[in-house]
Amino acid sequence: MPFLTSELAQEIVERTMKILNKNINVMNHEGVILGSGDSERINQLHDGALLVLQHGESVEIDKTKAAGMKGSKPGINLPIRFNNQIVGVIGITGEPDQIRNYAQLVKMAAELVLEQSFLLERVQWKQRLQSEIVNQIIAEEGLNEEWIKERAGILGIDLDQPRRAIVLQQPGYTEASIQAFVRSIQYEIGKADLIGVTFNNEIVVLKKDDGQETNRELTPLLKRFQKASGPKVWIGSGSTAKTIKALKTSFQQAKGAILAGSKLQPEANFHCYEDYRLEIMLAKLAQEEQGHNSFSFYDVLLDQGQKGELVHTLEAYIKEGGELNKIAESLFIHRNTLRYRLDKITDLTNKDPRNVKDLMELYMAKLLHDIR
């Protein structure tokens, strides 16, 4: 695989010509001009570059020498080195006496561009490999653990360590914004963590976890994620997975936390599965019953009372755990008014909030409505 491509050679030309107001040529390991300030010279063979490649050192060409060399003009040609080998030649057009003091500077600039390009390609390769591993782990199809462990081993990551999935969703994303998003988050994760982008442009972090990390300990990391990515992002965290197969469940839990949390607490940006375990389970059961119109009784409450007072009463009843004094205080109403509203809910739905079983069904119906 050649280190120098036509695109990279032209980038070197454009950058180095800003240093020295002279024409620059960049030749590959065969002496062919790949990039030049003079577009007509591209793809021509450069005799001066061939001498550099042959001898492994700089070659100066004055007018006399240039006259007898094909494709050459007066100037200085220097080897471009990378990883202790010559990968190309950079030529500066001009009288050697006038440009000699700048030659090494131009050579260093060319090698720096080449090194930056290589490092960037390496980073992008690692990102692609990580995304491939992450998508394989959370995919619906069969899981090839040996293949995944082998790929992760290339990155120096041990997948046998406990982990939890953290999902980040950004509304109105673009491909460029997702890549910038990933770069900003990478500074916040550890060397043992995996980060990838799903086919739905969700960012997934498989975070190394000792299995004892609490939500309180996790919150600072989620806050840093939010700070790095901006306010318009949903963040969900699943439970700790002790096996590779269990990571798929953790991923689904994180998505469930976002789904429930974004509806039930829209003012918050990050949601942990442990905080919504009951709501997620109930919502899943409610969705399975949705097609049977099993919760139509809740729809009656939505159209009753002034400004949805019966729904607000039910919400307060759930929030305060059925303590009538606290419920009445939070709604700024008398206890008798509260009893009247609870009786009204019972009459309309045939479900009494004061009965645990009926309250559970009312709560499930409410969750389905809120999440839907």
Q: What is the pLDDT of residues 22-53, one digit of tens each?
A: 899 999 999 999 999 998 889 999 989 999 99
Compute CA distances 71 → 42, 93, 292, whole Å: 11, 12, 81
> Which two tokens mark 270?
């990050």
Give yes or no: residues 261 and 302 share one domain: no
CATH of the domain at 43: 3.30.450.20
| CB contact at 8 A, 165 and 254 | yes
Give yes or no: residues 266 and 334 share one domain: no
Per-residue pLDDT of 82-101, as tens digits, reads 888 899 999 999 999 888 88
DSSP H or E segment with residue 234: strand 234-241
What are the residues facing 119 on neighbouring strands? none
Cα–Cα distance for residue pair 92/15, rounded to 1 Å: 13
**Structural domain contains residue 282:** no
Range of 81's domain?
Answer: 6-113
Give yes or no: residues 154 and 245 share one domain: yes
**Predicted confidence band of residue 255 (pLDDT cuts 50, 70, 90):** very high
237: alpha, beta or left, given left = phi > 0 and alpha = psi -120 to 50?
Answer: beta
**Structural domain contains residue 210:** yes
**Structural domain contains residue 300:** yes
Domain boundary among 113, 131, 166: 113
CATH of the domain at 338: 1.10.10.2840
Cα–Cα distance for residue pair 27/225, rounded to 1 Å: 44
Give yes or no: residues 326 and 359 share one domain: yes
Give yes or no: residues 170 and 217 share one domain: yes
**Structural domain contains residue 27:** yes
Q: Which of 259-273, 289-303, 352-366 has the lowest mean pLDDT?
A: 289-303
Give yes or no: residues 268 and 297 share one domain: no
Cβ within 8 Å of residue 149, ≥6 positions away: 159, 160, 244
Number of domains in the chain: 3
**Structural domain contains residue 144:** yes
**Structural domain contains residue 132:** no
CATH of the domain at 213: 3.30.70.270
